[in-house]
């Protein structure tokens, strides 16, 4: 992307996710809204799935609106996300985070 190019929808999402502070989480819908994409929460999930190799975007801080981790139980992705959140001080119980307690409020 050159200086005069508008960021792509994916890049807008990645910029919002990169801004989520350690120890907090955001929902897919919240990220979509903050990226100027309205109610495109599903697109947020797809965009995070297409992160380039070697990125440092904290994808693990994005959850469903009810605080639930979106990955199926017993998957490596779910274990990885849970571990990363816990290392940042986010409490994960039965695959869910309290949005009331940990949601990012910019």
Top pLDDT among 6 and 18 is at 18
Residue 5, pLDDT > 90, answer no
Give CA angle at 39 (33, 22), nearest 5°: 40
Portion of the chain with pLDDT greater than 90, in percent: 94
- Mean of the pLDDT values across residues 55-80? 97
Domains belonging to the chain, first-starting first, are 9-102 (1.10.10.10)
Inform me whether the pLDDT recorded for 46 exceeds 60.
yes
Cα(13)–Cα(70) distance, integer angstroms: 17
Q: What is the mean pLDDT of residues 55-66?
A: 97
Q: Which of 2-11, 25-34, 70-79 has the lowest mean pLDDT?
A: 2-11
Residue in 75, 95, 100 with CA at minimum distance from that of residue 85: 95
User: DSSP string covering 54-89, please?
Assistant: T----GGGEE-TTSB-SSPTT-HHHHHHHHHHHHTT
Structure tokens at 10: 């994916």
pLDDT value of residue 87? 98
Q: Is the model's pLDDT at 41 over the cut of 60?
A: yes
């Amino acid at each position: 992307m050159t200086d005069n190019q508008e960021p792509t929808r994916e890049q807008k999402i990645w910029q919002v996710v990169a801004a989520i502070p350690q120890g907090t989480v955001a929902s897919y819908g919240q990220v979509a809204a903050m990226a100027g994409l309205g109610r495109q929460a599903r697109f947020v999930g797809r965009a995070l799935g297409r992160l380039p190799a070697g990125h440092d975007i904290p994808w693990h801080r994005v959850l469903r609106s009810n605080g639930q981790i979106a990955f199926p139980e017993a998957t490596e992705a779910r274990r990885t996300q849970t571990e990363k959140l816990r290392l940042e001080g986010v409490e994960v119980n039965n695959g869910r985070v309290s949005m009331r307690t940990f949601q990012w409020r910019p």
